[in-house]
Each structure stands twice: as structure tokens, then as C-alpha cells.
Structure 1
Amino acid sequence: MTYKILWAPLRWTDDHHIEHESAGDQCEAVLAASLEEITQDQWLSCDAIVSLTDVPERYRSQAKNCKIFVTPKVGYDNIDIKAWAAAGIPVCNVPDYGTMEVADHAIAMYLSLVRGITYHSRELQKAPDDNWLPIRYKPTRRLSTSTFGIVGLGRIGMATALRAKAFGMDVCFFDPHVENGRDKALGVRRVDDLQYLFSQCDAVSIHVPLSRETDKLINAEVLASSKPNLMLINTARGPVIDLDALYHALKTDQLQAAALDVLPEEKPVDKSHPLLRAWSAQESWIDHRLLLTPHSAFYSTESMYDMRFLGGQGAAQFLTKGVLRNCVNSEYLTG
């Protein structure tokens, strides 16, 4: 028997050999560039669906033979996991495709801020001779004397912690959902209060999923407790940080700097927000204090391969072996 794995819709425009390889010998990858081009027969005959975005109910209701839905990425806040569960279909993610890349990116953002790398590059472009002076960048500090805080000690949080430790930093974390003992295994310190974490750290890196609990988790109250000259890094999800509160914290010097790979609104970016407007206009108070990258922390050639291959493989393993990994809606499934 050959199972059919429907990729709908596909983001990539190459020859899709990765999707075909991931299906293995007992499954067939059925590829579609858009939802609209998928026929009713393809919806009806598919055994699994792999998609970065959710499938609207008008299409989902046609997939009567579907046994699993896989979103080949870490975040699943854009997937209606309860609706899939109501149809008896498990939803799985791919949490491990970009772990190293995101951790690398978080540390790289901190290094760029604390060592003034982007600052010096830009200043030297303006006047190489006049600005050949390292002492002009005041936030520079020795890494081994820094305390590095992590909010969320999951896969990426742990990878980031190990990288920070490798630089000799004192690492502590806040995560009420992590079991006791993980701190001992990693050689890091546990902190039970988020505001206390901010009050003790020179840098804080965010590594939590987006949920009702974490939406605007980093708010004005938390930021007001920051240690002087704290640098904040977010490679998780944009809405985890209250952007209005971040603007105020930077404007009033509660924070030294922030590095954001994600924003509450992306594509289109809310360019009218005061923080982004000030950054875009290169207002003096924010100059060299806000570092932005375009949701690129996860990206590498290797991670893109893993995203695609592991997504298809996860569906194929469930269909052919009954192996269900990384199910994110199990609490809503019945029976």
C-alpha cells in the first residue's frame, strides 16, 4: 500500500527532491503550489498533510482520509490545533530543525551588541581615520564577567545556555515548566521569578513559544526591573515582548539595547510604531541600540533541508510504523 502525503502549499520552487526522499518507499509525496490547485480527489485521497500554514476548514473538511497534519517548523501558533483534534487528527511540529541556528543567532546578536561590531563597522564607513578609536563604544564588557539570562529552557534555550557557558558567562534561567534537575545537568542556575532574572542579568535571551501565557510576557513591569545596561535578545516570537513597553524602556534608558529577530507584526512590518519609526529615522537616542534581523535566526542550508525532510519523514513514520512524534494537540485528542 502506498500512502499519500500532500504538501499544501509548497514554499520552495526547486525540484522538490527533499520532499520525495522524505516520503520513503511506502509513501508518495503529492505536491501543490497553492491550496486552490489541489483537486477534490487529492484532498479526499491524502493520508497526511504537511504545511507551514493552516488549512482552512473548507479544504480541511474534504480531507476525510487524513490521519496526521505536520507543520514543518517549531511554532504552531498559526495552526488551529483544536479544530484538527476535533476531526481526530494529531498535529505535529518539527522542533529540532533549526535549534543550533537559532542559538547561534541569539549569541551572535549579543556579541554584536556587546562588542560593538555593527557600531564600529558603520562608524568606520563614515570616517575610517577619525573613528579608528575603540573606546568610543561604551557598552563593551568582558564576556566572562557577564550574567546571561534565558527565558525558556527548552531545546533552543538549552543550546543557547551551552554557548553562553562556552564564553565563560554565568548562566541562569527562568522557566516554570522545566522539571527539577535540568539546571544541575547543564551547570546553570535556576531563577523562580522573571523580574528577579531581569534584575540580575547583563543580557536576557527569549526562547519561549507564543501562547496565551507568553503573549506580552516581557511587559513594562518586567522591563522596569532590569539591571542597568541590560541587553535584551528575542529570537522566539514577536508578541512575547510588549513593543510599546520596549520602546519606553529604551527611551528612558531602562535598557541599554535590544536585538530582535522577530516582531509582533511581520510582512508587513508596522513601520508606524514609535520604536521602529525612531530606528528607521536613525534618531540619536536609539542609534546603535536596536539591532534587527528579518526572522532569519532559523535559516541555514542545513536547517532548510531538515525542515523539509523531517516534516515529510514525520508523516511517513506515522503512516507506515504508527510512530507519533512531537504531537502538539494530544491534550485535545479523544480516544
Structure 2
Amino acid sequence: MNLQQQLQNKIDLKTKPLNALGLLEKIAYKIGKAQQSLTPKLVNPTIIVFAADHGLAKEGVSAYPAEVTYQMVLNFLNKGAAINVFCKQHNINLKVVDAGVSQPFEPHPDLIQAKAGLGTHNMISGNAMTAEELAYCFTSGKDIVKDIAQTGTNIIGFGEMGIGNTSSASLLMSSLLDLPIDQCVGKGTGLDDEGLARKKNILTTIIETHPKPKDAKEALLQFGGYEIAQICAAMLEAYRQGMIILVDGFIASSAFLCASNIEPTIIDNAIFCHKSDEKGHQLLLRSFNEQAILDMNLRLGEGTGCALAYPLIQSAVAFLNEMASFESANVSNK
């Protein structure tokens, strides 16, 4: 038997009906396969929140003003946000990356400075970023994960903060999956019906006035956020390092879509933590043929879905490593 067969056999022969632990069994199998181990371990879990501003925010595509990106990064650093609370609760390391916020920050032990620019350019009048800015994002995203790998981390989650970034995610999704933009756009931070209609009109104009990108890097150049591009590169490096990749909501999944366009086998290491309340996310999950762990109408970002799902991922590993088999427990199998 090869390792994958041994893993499945080990799961099937635990003291339970076949498949009775449902999604936990699939998670345990995925982690064991990714780590090439019948006794996988979760070491030094870390979540990185990448933050950046978006030039498109000037067009009113969000219910919140652009300065909220800067203010929320300060909130992360002051340990006042939801992601801080959940990471502390579950003993997860948290790092924050300034990938391109429009204002400077004082040095802070939890802040990684990786500013690609002072917010992306307004996509109404051209590409979101230059080729040089995109190249910088790919270098910095890769280097950040390389450094975190030195701490022994083998499971890493990705969150984001950036007013206007659901618009970027929708455009990336529409262009890479060849879906009508209407199917990819949602209310983001809580737009009313009028605001949603305006957002759809703006994104339709952008899609119609940009050439169809030939690949993920070109899509990021045209439509990406600095934080989305850095997450994409960071996910690719996490895969090269053999880490388990925890994917948060809609924006993180759009970054994963770009990463999987570049390296399709990255899906083998990915766990999708929750199904967002954002309309396009359900279609994205379907395109990956993946089931998310949680379905709680979350739409906060920040990596909160990763932190909330983490105890269930721990349970998947615990049952695989610690639960008795029918043979060891002297329980009759069917």
C-alpha cells in the first residue's frame, strides 16, 4: 500500500462508521497527504494579514471611506480587532503586513513593512499596478513566508484588509473564470441596493475597457490589490515549503485562484475555512470543487475564518493520531 492508501485505511478503520466524521476525515487525509505522514502535526500556526489601499475606493465602491484601511491596521497592532481576539483564543501567531497602505506606520514588532506603493492606481483609468510593483509584491510575499518558515510553522493562514478589495477580487474572478461580472459582485462591507448597483456599473465599465488578461499575473497587474498579489505569492511559497494553507474568505480565495492558475497542484495543501456571505465566494468554492469548513455568514476578512476554523482542523489531526482502531479497541467491525 502507498501512503495515500495507508492514510485512507487508517481513517476508515477508526472506531466509527465509515465516513461518520464527514469533512473532518477529508481534512485529516489532506493534511496527512500534504505532510506525507500517517501521524501529521500542526506546528506554530501563523496567520498573516496583508493590508493595502485601493485607488478604486475613490469611486465609492465600498460603504466605508478609504482611511479605514490605515485605521484598522493600527487596530490590529493595538490587538483590538476580531482577528486579534480569535488568534489569542486559539494560540495562533499573528503578523500584519503593510503591503501598500497610503499612510506610513511607526515600526512595530508585529508589523512587516512591504509597501509596494501608496495604494493601487484607479482601475477606471488604467492598470491597478505597474509591472515593477507586481514584481515587488511577488518578491516580498515569497520572502515573508520564507522568514516565517524559519520559525518552524507548518500551517499558515492568510487574511487581508483593504477598503475596495472585494471589487478587485470580483474582477480577478470574472476575468480568470470567464464569468459575467454580475455573478462575481456582492455588497462587500455592506452596500445598500443603490450602492451595489453603482459598484456593478463601475466594475462592468472596467472589465469592458481592459483587455482580457492572458494569465493570473496579467490579471493582478490590471485588477489586483497589492495585498492580493502578495498573498498570491505568499501562498505559492507556503506550498513550496510544504505548509498547510488556510484560505479565508472571498478576497483570500481570489488570491488563491491566482496562485492555482500559476501552480494548479497548490490545491493539495489548501483548506478552505469558511463560505463567505459574499455572493461570488460560493461560485469560487465550486470552481475549486472544495467544501468550506464553516458556513456562518461571515464577511469580515482579516483571516477571521481561518482562526475560527483552526480548532476543527486540530480535531481532524487529533482523531487521526489518537482515536482507537477497531482492532486496538477490540470493537467488532461490520
TM-score past 0.5 threshold:
no
Higher fraction of strand:
1
Tell me which structure has the larger Cα radius of gyration: 1
Looking at both structures, which has the greater relative contact order when contacts are Cα pairs under 8 Å and sequence separation is at least 6?
A: 2
Query: So what's the TM-score if we normalise by structure 2?
Result: 0.26
Query: So what's the TM-score if we normalise by structure 1?
Result: 0.26
